[in-house]
Amino acid sequence: MRHVATAPDLRDPLKPETEIVAVGNEKPREACGIFGAYIPGHEAARAAFFGIFALQHRGQESAGIAASNGLALSLTAEVGLVSQVFQENDLTGLQGHLAIAHTRYSTTGSNRRHNAQPLLAYGPRGAIALGHNGNVINALPLREFCREEYGSVFTGSSDSEVIAELYAKTPGDDWFEVSDHVMSLLSGAYSLIMMTKHELIAVRDPLGVRPLCIGKLDGGWVFASETAALDNLGAEFERELEPGEVVVVDRDGITSRVWPKAPIAHKMCIFEQIYFARPDSILDGSLAYENRMRMGAIAYRENPTEADLVIGIPDSSTPHAAGYAAEANIPYAEGLVKNRYVGRTFIQPDQYMRDIGVRTKFNAMRQVINGKRIVVVDDTIVRSTTVRHVVRMLREAGAKEVHVRVAAPPIKSTCHFGVDMATLDQLIAANYSVEEICEIIGADTLSYLSLEGLEEAVSAGPNEYCRGCFTGKYPIDVQLEMDKLRMDRLVAEPVGAS
């Protein structure tokens, strides 16, 4: 008798009982969203608010805005969604033509107030505020370096605080010279937006792992993780920052320089194309929506199947499913309806509620599904929680057959550059074969998009994009696994503890 695989433990051991949880969500958690504005004659904090409002999908744990009127920095940053943290009176108190903003999902350091960004740091050039998207893998030794070299005192537990201290205290005649030195120390992913009382500074790491773009607005300049945030403001998209590029905006205008040691080929996270970025954002010169449709089309060409209907798991898989259906010439339908008001909650589900958690988020329409052979397209499978329940719901709704197609390769390794997707033992594709996963989720058939198919969809060259979560090969050396709460434990230890 053939072995029947069982599902792995799907609970997240890193999530404290008091932390906010998301109902029915097992997707990789996005990094963070950053935004900056230098708009003479305008209140930049308002632009910053709407900028990170458009980037809310990248992080839902905390939000913050720092602003300057040329005399002093003001800052508001709290745990919560953008709309929860900021009311009209908060924006009124953030005066000035210069502002930066941040919305966070933690990848190093816990979800606590002291890790909310922007962060403030102080040095010979005065105060700076910093927002960070990404993950620096050598933050611990650099933390000790800052303590010994600069006498830094850390109050939080994030790698972002280490970066802020380095930029605030590293000597240099200008921000380009400072960045040259800091970039030689940092290892990992970091798109940064920083400000002093008079200047706005944007930085993209030499690998270009996380996106960062620049646009024009009302005679000034704006920067954002994604072009969708520029569109939300009516800004004119100029370009994406180059890997290793530093841009400085001040009263004299805008200047930029690329770090001379930056590699020629970028290594942007390929998951930005698959899932993280909004479908209406431009990444590496192309629209994410069109790339995702191509992923679905290639998924069909690689593993065609006969069916009556194609559906996607809303909302993130919709373009992939539309591309699959068009290529297969099979009707596309919305067989699953998503409750878009389900989000993060402080209410802890008991085991019964965990079992029906996906029903809280999705509902299958029996009238559409009943008696049909269904292809359900997902953009990725991490632990398998969602897709297992979706397959069960479709069968209960009367589906004759359920074929699962994943418009991305199997995730077999963890991310070290700003994505919290699970530990290695929780990644179902790292522990089970495709045939076993098919049994676990209860599908008739299961297939994944090949890595070659994904690269074709995003027009990737041989040296472009980080593919580490699929291949285990990263653009720089990393530990096998890293603990996102490692610096929280360090902060909790008494001084002098070993």
pLDDT band at 113, cuts 50/70/90? confident
For 301-311, the pLDDT digits (tens) are 999 999 999 99
- Name the token pair of 175: 């921000």
Rounded distance between C-alpha atoms, residue 34 and residue 101, angstroms: 6
Give the model's confidence band at 464: pLDDT under 50 very low, under 70 low, under 90 confident, else very high. confident
Please state the rounded mean pLDDT for residues 401-413: 97
Question: Are 297 and 326 in contact, with CB atoms under 8 Å apart?
Answer: yes
Three-class HEC string of the chain:
CCCCCCCCCCCCCCCCCCCCEECCCCCCECCEEEEEEECCCCCHHHHHHHHHHCCHHHCCCEEEEEEECCCCEEEEEEECCHHHHCCHHHHHCCCCCEEEEEEECCCCCCCCHHHCCCEEEEECCEEEEEEEEEEECCHHHHHHHHHHHHCCCCCCCCHHHHHHHHHHHCCCCCHHHHHHHHHHHCCEEEEEEEECCCCEEEEECCCCCCCCEEEEECCEEEEECCHHHHHHHCCEEEEECCCCEEEEEECCEEEEEECCCCCCCCCCECHHHHHHCCCCCEECCEEHHHHHHHHHHHHHHHCCCCCCEEEECCCCCHHHHHHHHHHHCCCECCCEEECCCCCEECCCCCHHHHHCHHHHHEEECHHHHCCCEEEEEECCCCCCHHHHHHHHHHHHCCCCEEEEEECCCCCCCCCCCCCECCCHHHCHHHHCCHHHHHHHHCCCEEEECCHHHHHHHCCCCCCCCECHHHHCCCCCCCCCCCCCCHHHHHHHCCCCCC
The β-bridge partners of 405 are: 377, 447
Task: Provide the pLDDT for residue 494.
Answer: 37
Confidence label for 37 from pLDDT (cuts 50, 70 and 90) = very high
**Region 249-264 average pLDDT:** 93
pLDDT by residue (tens digit) across 67-101? 999 999 999 999 999 999 999 999 999 999 999 99
Positive or negative torsion for Cα 437, 440, 443, 445: positive
- In angstroms, rounded to a whole number, what is the distance separating the alpha carbons of residues 248 and 169? 18
Which region among 4-13, 17-26, 36-45, 284-293 has the lowest average model confidence (pLDDT)? 4-13
Mean pLDDT over 389-410 rounds to 97
Chain-centroid distance of CA 35 in Å reads 14
Instruction: Give the separation between CA 427 and CA 411, rounded to whole angstroms.
Output: 7
- What's the CA gap between 292 and 320, in Å, rounded? 5
Average pLDDT over residues 232-242: 97
Dump pLDDT digits (tens) for 162-207: 999 999 999 999 999 999 999 999 999 999 999 999 999 999 999 9
Q: How far apart are CA 356 and CA 74, in angstroms?
A: 44
CB–CB of 100/34 below 8 Å? Answer: yes
* pLDDT at residue 42 in the model: 96
Q: Give me the pLDDT at residue 306, please.
A: 96
In this model, does residue 146 exceed pLDDT 70? yes
Over residues 340-379, the pLDDT tens digits come to 775 544 444 555 555 566 677 889 999 999 999 999 999 9
Residue 7 has pLDDT above 70, yes or no: no
Q: What is the mean pLDDT of residues 453-457?
A: 96
pLDDT, residue 355, reads 55
Please choose, from the candidates 437, 346, 283, the residue with its C-alpha nearest in 3D space to the C-alpha of residue 111: 346
**457 near 291, Cβ under 8 Å?**
yes
Give the residue with greater pLDDT, 496 vs 354: 354
Q: Rounded to whole angstroms, what are the CA distances from 390 to 34, 169, 182, 442?
A: 33, 52, 47, 10
Q: What is the mean pLDDT of the chain?
A: 87
If you average pLDDT over residues 319-330, what whole number do you get?
98
Assigned token pair, 3: 């072995």
> Which residues form the catalytic set?
32
Residue position matching structure tokens 């068009």: 326
Answer yes or no: is pLDDT of 288 > 50: yes
pLDDT per residue as tens digits for the range 218-230: 999 999 999 999 9
* Contact of 65 with 75, CB cutoff 8 Å: yes
Q: Is the pLDDT of residue 274 over 60?
A: yes
pLDDT at 2: 31
Q: Answer for the pair 23, 360: CB distance below 8 angstroms, yes or no.
A: yes
